[in-house]
Each structure stands twice: as C-alpha cells, then as structure tokens.
Amino acid sequence: MVQFQSQDLPQLLIIHPPLSLAIAESQLSQKFHLLKAWESELPLDQFLTTYACSVQAMLCYPFTQVNADLLRLLPALKLVVSPTAGVNNIDLVECRRRGISVTTSGSAFSEDVADTAVGLLIDVRRKISAADRFVKGLWTSKGDYPLGSKLGGKRVGIVGLGSIGSAIGKRLEAFGCIVSYNSRSKNPSLTYPFYSSVHELAANNDALIICCPLTDQTHHMINKEVLSALGRKEVIVNVGRGAIIDEKELVRFLVHGEIGGAGLDVFENEPHVPEELFALDNVVLSPHNAAFTPESVESSSRIVIANLEAFFSNEPLVTPFMDD
C-alpha cells in the first residue's frame, strides 16, 4: 500500500546519495516519489532513460555534475534543486537554454558559514589550535608559548559580499575590525570601502576572507600576485570553494613563510589536502563543514521542500538562483 501511494506522488530524481543531509530524505519521501539512481542495478544512462519523459524535478548535491550530457538524457526536466548555496556543479547556461529553473538553499547556511569564517580567523591569529597541541604535549618541557595577534582593530577584506559575506562583516564589526570588500559590483547601501580589484583589497588589509562563488571568473582568482600583495604577516581564510585560490601557490607561500597563516574549510581536490599543510602551526584546517549544523541542515530541508512544492503547484519558487 505504501509503495502504491509513493508511485502517485510527484517524482523527484536524486542521482547520488547525500552525505550529511539524511534529515531531508525522511521528509522528502513523505511528499515525493524518490527515484534513487544509486540504488538501481541499471547503468545510470539506462536508469535515466527509463524516466526521461516523466521526471520534471531533480535534487542535486554538490558532487552531482549537472552538465549538458546529463540534461540531454532528461528532456522533461524543468527544475534543478540544490540543497546548498553553491551552483558551480550546475551548467547554468545549459539550464537556461533548456528552460530549466535552478533553486538554492538561499541564506539557510549563511550564519553558520559566517561563524566558521570568523572562528578560523580568530584561531589562526590567536594560535588556538596550535596552543591546544602545545598544552597536550610540550608545555611542561618547552615553557611559554608564542603570543597570538589581536583581532580588534585589524583591517579585514571580504571577497564576495552576498548573504554570507554580509553576515561575516557584521560579526567582524562587533570585534572592532575595519571591514572592506570586493564583489562583482559596489553596493551603494553599504558604508564599507569597496575595492574593484581583489589585488587592491589584499594590499590594503591585514586579512582576507574568501566567500564568493566559484565561477570561471573566480577560479584561481587568489593567485601569486594577490598573495604577494597580502604580505608576510597577514592571514587568508577560505570558506568559499577551494579552487578560488591557486592551492599550489598558497602552499608555497605558507611553507616559505611568505604569508602569516591560513584558515581553510575548502580545498581544490577534496578530500585530498596538501600534506605540507599538516605540520604548519599557522594553518587551521576544516573538512568542508562550515555550512553544516543540525539547525542549518533542517533549514535547508525546509527550503528544498518549499521549492519543490511551489514548483509542483505552479507557484513562484521560494529561492530561485539569481545570477546578478
């Protein structure tokens, strides 16, 4: 009886299993007939062909590449739903050409990512993680630990002042930091100084926080020249995407002491992280989980369901992706 009822629900295609969003599946299965491609014995192309004329909506996680080859197999598809804020795994041009709408998590993860970004900055500057290791193994034999650097009064440049960047800015203001930013365009409603060049932003700040999307334009945007402009005592934090920074150059700068430190939640070839970073006390690493708390996952689940319900009811989408 349950199986019969599920067949009568709107179909929702999911190609890869979720890693940490299991909360969503129990909720989704009550409202939609979940087509779980990874559970099928059929090759993916055959599985998709089976539902090619009926599937109108797909839920895609960041590791699902929604490209022209995939979309060609789904001629009836009209909606791609991302449970995160990132869309670098989705061919937006091809979706637009095919009349396929794309939705994201909106601001569901913004507060948690902002908390992590500021936490990484504090950790690197005050040497908290390194001091923890020192207490657990060296304090009795090595004596006093080197002092960390104050956060208040520091100049912090934010790369990407969307919902995450704005939340980071508010937090930094509370610490007494001097905030400036780089973005695709200047926001006239903000009082923060705007730099049209990320190189200029780096040259005029004590720290950079990266929280912009990964696009063709931002790939390796933080390169050798930008890192040189940042300087030997300054810090970089990345909670955006790993490939926004030229990782090989970043490793070289850190190993040779050419920048002051780094707090990294994202990496260019996850889950593989350059081993040269492991022994550096001025580097704090996090396994791409800045966004995820039980609260943010629950919020994202509600937004995913709201977008799907709106779509199947022919109502306006709740959080459509806006490429502005």
Closest Cα partner for 237 from 177, 299, 324, 323?
Answer: 177
Number of other CB atoms surrounding residue 292 within 10 Å = 18
Number of other CB atoms surrounding residue 115 within 10 Å = 16
137 residue type, one letter: G
Q: Which residues, in sequence order, are bridge partners of residue 210?
A: 159, 238
Token representation of residue 133: 């290791």
* Contact yes or no for 216/240 (Cβ under 8 A): no
| Helix boundaries (H) for the chain | 2-7, 22-31, 44-50, 68-72, 92-98, 110-126, 128-137, 139-142, 163-174, 198-203, 224-230, 247-255, 294-312
* Contact yes or no for 290/116 (Cβ under 8 A): yes
Catalytic center residues = 241, 270, 288
Report the side by side order of strands in the sheet with 283-285: 178-182, 155-159, 207-210, 235-238, 261-264, 283-285
Measured CA to CA, the distance from residue 267 to residue 278 in angstroms comes to 13
**67 phi/psi in degrees, rounded to 5:** -115, 180
Closest Cα partner for 84 from 289, 267, 311?
Answer: 289
